Structure 1
Amino acid sequence: MKTENRIFSQVYSYLEQGSRFVDKRHLTVLSWMVTALLSSQSLNQARWEPFVQSRAEQANSYQRRWNRFCQNGRVAVEKIYIPLILKAIETWKEKGERLYLAIDTTLLWNQYCFVYLAVVCGGRAVPLMWMGLEHGSASLAFEKYEPLLDRAKGYLQGFENVMLLYFARLQLAFFTQGQ
């Protein structure tokens, strides 16, 4: 069995466990995308072709396949991604360990502010959820990113010990369960 096939099988079974796909074809496409990303070690979709099993004969067929998946309104990123992250951190909840979350902003083209909330794990920030705002500064008032924290609270029910790490560009907000 080729390495890509083994990776695909593992990715497919992992995605199948945590996510609710209505159409299994979406699961297959996403699994091949992740497999190609890992195998090629590149975000450039043109480099993914050698790592994907497909009947496609032209390179642009692969591009169209990825674009169709990304533009498909029935594919809800939040319903795929968040259950996977929650599954990965559920042992922390079971053990009662502290969950560290980091919130930060990035300004794009001096016009859009990207706010992301990440789980801190092993010295890395793994994105949990994010939102984009039309805002000309990376400094935000609490009211602007409060909806993101409210959504996170809903997903993180049962985590007793949560610490939010924030950066100076954001007004301090307290994020505690039970409020």
Structure 2
Amino acid sequence: MYQAVRQYAKTLLWNDSRNADTFAWLVTGMLQSQKSTLPDWITHRQSNATFAQSRERQARRWLGNAKIDPVSIYGPLVTSALRTWGEHRLVLALDTSVLFEDFCMIRVAVLFRGRAVPLYSTVITHSSAQVSTARLLPVLAHVKGMLDFLGIRNVRFLADRGFCDIDLMDWLWACGWHYRIRIKSSLILADPQGQRLCKVNEVKLAPRETRCFHNVTITGQRFGPVHVVLGRPTDGPEQWQVVSDEPTSVETFAEYGERFQIEEGFLDDKSGLFGLEASRLRDAASLERLVLVISTATLFLNSEGLQVVEQGLRRRVDPHWQRGLSYLKIGLRAVQYALARGKAIFTRLGLHGGDDPEPVGYRTSKQPDLRIAFEVGWTLVFRPLS
């Protein structure tokens, strides 16, 4: 596994080639142990160092090395994987996650067949998940630069209501990106001439009713024209409301619902697979380099899972008739299967766009499934305004 990872690590930009070797074994230790604690990694390290303490000290020095820039390391790696994306639409999700009550991880991820593959991650000292648009725009500008380099311009951007900001929407419009963003109930809707229509929370819907407002402006600054869809999926009081740069329908809820894949990704990072929450690191720079290791492991596993499915070998590692595991878990099992039999792993690194050749079979999800919008019984009401 170390040699398979190192063949990619050595091609990246390092201030010292020895850092590439350390990076390769950190990723190897992460994949082998599926934990984010250094003592669990060092047993997988082949080194001339006799004592475990020496190997652990080497890992700590790497995580604390200010000359290692995670963005310049991970960027070329993930863009290399996306070179095979093609002309298909690329769906991005933006979200944040609080770490240890003192730090905030900002992430932009590619939504890939049920999971989120990190595209850009940064950790800042910030005790809240709410981050200003001024702090987010440099992150998004870097992401745009990566996609422009790849020639990917067919982009849909998804974000939760914490990122409902007209400056962000204006930036997305200038980039030519489409967006689906959940909006707050206090938002004011107006017609193109500025005539107030209502607040979002003033619209009362019957269960399973949807209402669309087309060509409206939002907020007191009359930003627009945009398109808004409101829906009440159940008999409960909760309503969903999403703003889009394109005309809305019930399908808009399904498009926005893909955003929950990034939350599954945070779960994989923090407790489900890699155990980031068990890390004892307590400074933003070291945590960001740890996230670099996790992101690299996630990228490799998704790529390996994709390759296994494309080769028709999924059922060697997935016991379900239809795909019942994420590409991430398929990749992990495929790696374990190959290593146990002395077979090669990570022979190529790539993510392909387009439809999933083996969509996941039905399973109960803990997350809200906005595809309920397609169920029979919804009433669709259009309120076009010209």
- The corresponding residue for 2:161 is 168
Aligned length: 170
- 1:178: how far off? 5.8
In the alignment, structure 1 residue 34 sits paired with structure 2 residue 27:
yes
Q: 2:55 aligns with which of 52, 62, 65?
A: 62
- Matched to 2:97, the amino acid is T
- The runs of 5 or more residues in structure 2 that have no matched partner are 178-386
SS of 2:71's equivalent in the other structure is helix
SS of 1:14's equivalent in the other structure is helix
- The runs of 5 or more residues in structure 1 that have no matched partner are 1-6
- Matched to 1:156, the amino acid is L
**TM, length-normalised to structure 1:** 0.83
Counterpart CA distance in 2 for 1:134 and 1:23 is 28
Richer in helix (by share): 1
Q: Conserved in 1, the CA contact under 8 Å of 2:104 and 2:127?
A: yes
- The corresponding residue for 1:143 is 134
SS of 2:15's equivalent in the other structure is coil
Change (3 A) 1:70 1:170: same
Q: Conserved in 1, the CA contact under 8 Å of 2:93 and 2:157?
A: yes
Counterpart CA distance in 2 for 1:121 and 1:146 is 23
Change (3 A) 1:67 1:119: same
Counterpart CA distance in 1 for 2:43 and 2:132 is 47
In the alignment, structure 1 residue 11 sits paired with structure 2 residue 2:
no
- 1:15: how far off? 1.9
- Matched to 2:9, the amino acid is L
Query: Which structure is higher in RCO with an 8 Å CA cutoff and minimum separation 6?
Result: 2
- The corresponding residue for 2:342 is none
- The corresponding residue for 1:106 is 97
Deviations 1:74-103 (A, max 9, x none): 2111111111111111111xx211111110
Q: Conserved in 2, the CA contact under 8 Å of 1:142 and 1:171?
A: no
- Matched to 1:147, the amino acid is P
Change (3 A) 1:34 1:132: closer
SS of 1:48's equivalent in the other structure is helix
- The corresponding residue for 1:49 is 42
Q: What percent of counterpart residues are identical?
A: 32
**TM, length-normalised to structure 2:** 0.41
Change (3 A) 1:133 1:44: closer
Q: 1:22 aligns with which of 15, 20, 26?
A: 15
- 1:148: how far off? 1.1
Change (3 A) 1:101 1:22: same
SS of 1:156's equivalent in the other structure is helix
Q: 2:64 aligns with which of 35, 47, 71?
A: 71
- The corresponding residue for 2:122 is 131
SS of 1:169's equivalent in the other structure is helix
- The corresponding residue for 2:152 is 159
Counterpart CA distance in 2 for 1:124 and 1:44 is 24
- 1:141: how far off? 4.1
Q: Conserved in 2, the CA contact under 8 Å of 1:140 and 1:171?
A: no
Q: Conserved in 1, the CA contact under 8 Å of 2:10 and 2:20?
A: yes
Change (3 A) 1:28 1:133: closer
Whichever of the two has the greater Rg, that structure is 2
Change (3 A) 1:156 1:21: same
Counterpart CA distance in 2 for 1:133 and 1:24 is 27
Counterpart CA distance in 2 for 1:110 and 1:21 is 32
RMSD over equivalenced CA pairs, Å: 2.2
SS of 2:162's equivalent in the other structure is coil
